[in-house]
Structure 1
Amino acid sequence: MTEDKQKQLHTSEESVDILLFGAHPDDVEWGAGGTALTLKAAGISFGVVDLTRGEMGSRGTAEERDKEAEAAAAGMGARFRQNLGMPDCGVVDSVENRKQIASVIRKWRPKLVLAPYWEDRHPDHAATGQLIRNAAVYCALRKSDDPNLPHKPSAYLYYLLHNFTHPGLVVDISGIYARKLELLRIHASQFAKTAQGFGVLPLGMNDYLFGLESRDRFFGSLIGVHHGEAFVSAVPLKLGSIGDLPFLH
């Protein structure tokens, strides 16, 4: 068997349908946790990749956050959760980091990639979104020293965290919203108390989960449902036909 054939077999065995990226160990849950739960219910495979361990946060240690992240991954139904070990509060859109992101995408070969929106008040969130956008070209390079074969996901979507822009689509998560909040509560070091209870300066509303629900209710209102998660696409999404729209089936 040739080396290329071995690579193809290896990658097909390890592939997932969707890859979700976050800057910190709770970002995916915060921005797309309900969406992840809908994927689990539909039998769609996905993995989670955190860029940092959140070690610079005011609440919790890196070790505590590692354990919480693994427990939350199990709760979401992720096939795997990986941490790239980039420095918290130090994520940058560099060539080397783009190559590292691309290598992960080339390894897991997702059809769809989800990541934070590239405009956000937290520089790590913004840098992560930029990294995912700019890593796309490295995913498809054939003249690369990456051990994984080239791969081009069909689409990239970016979930909103702090900053708002008009979303391209909103996922209805009303039916599983209580379970999304349970996912966030697994990150007890971050969300077990209000900001005042943690002894830190509140950013926005001092009750984190109340603030989250207020945001998700607003997103839901955009499509006439109780709760939603909003996504942005940097480019138009391709449809073979208007008939491919889900509400026509």
Structure 2
Amino acid sequence: MAQTKIFAAVALTHSGSTITLTTDQLEDIIAHALVSTANASSSSVFSVLPGKFSSWLLDSACCNHMTPYPSFFSHTSSAHHAPTIHTANGSTMLVRSIGTISTSKLSISNVFHVPKLSYNLLSMGQLAELGYHIILDYFGCVVQDPRMGQELGTGRRIGRLFEISSLRLPTTGVSAATSSSPSLSLWHSRLGHASSSRVQQLLSRGLLGPVSKDNFDCVSYQLGKQPALPFHNSESMSTGIFDLIHYNV
């Protein structure tokens, strides 16, 4: 039994005549149009970038900060233990060296030099590992240090990409997080001179965040726990004004 073709649309040609399209033909035309639109959008995004040399893009799939340009580095060291970079198309790239970048707009350490790379990439995972917050919205992006309450970098949104305009990370890196952690004595004071057992209980439950342990001796806490002696009844009798004066020393 022959299959009946179902016509889905009627199209008008340049000459003015009409042609009929089947469902399969119409789906092929729509699919081709969607692919062409996506390719045009991707090309337009990269065409508005100021240049590969000066653009640094945030990348959530990048394992480490990396750049193909050796002139950015102020200091480099050998990369004997650096991993091999695997790209999305299955190819591999080698890390030639690891170093620190210090320019007028960027100050970041632990950056891979990958000569075969096409763009400068900033690893979002590496920034998050250091405890920094990355905020993305319609207009751009912001990198913040929540411990110090500082804004470390800003960027703009280009299509579906985020380009960093400036970023300056503390050179101390992870050690800065340790040195800026509040101490037990500070939390003791913040909690109204709570007992050490209560502070330790909150610490064990993870409610105080990172805390540097120290030995503290709070005089105010010790005085507050001492019992107050009662006042004795006075046997003095006053007969005139100011014969008996009460005062606290």
Normalised TM-score (structure 2): 0.22
Structure with the larger strand share: 2
Normalised TM-score (structure 1): 0.22
- Structure with larger RCO (C-alpha < 8 A, sep 6+): 1
Higher Cα Rg, which structure: 2
Structure with the larger helix share: 1
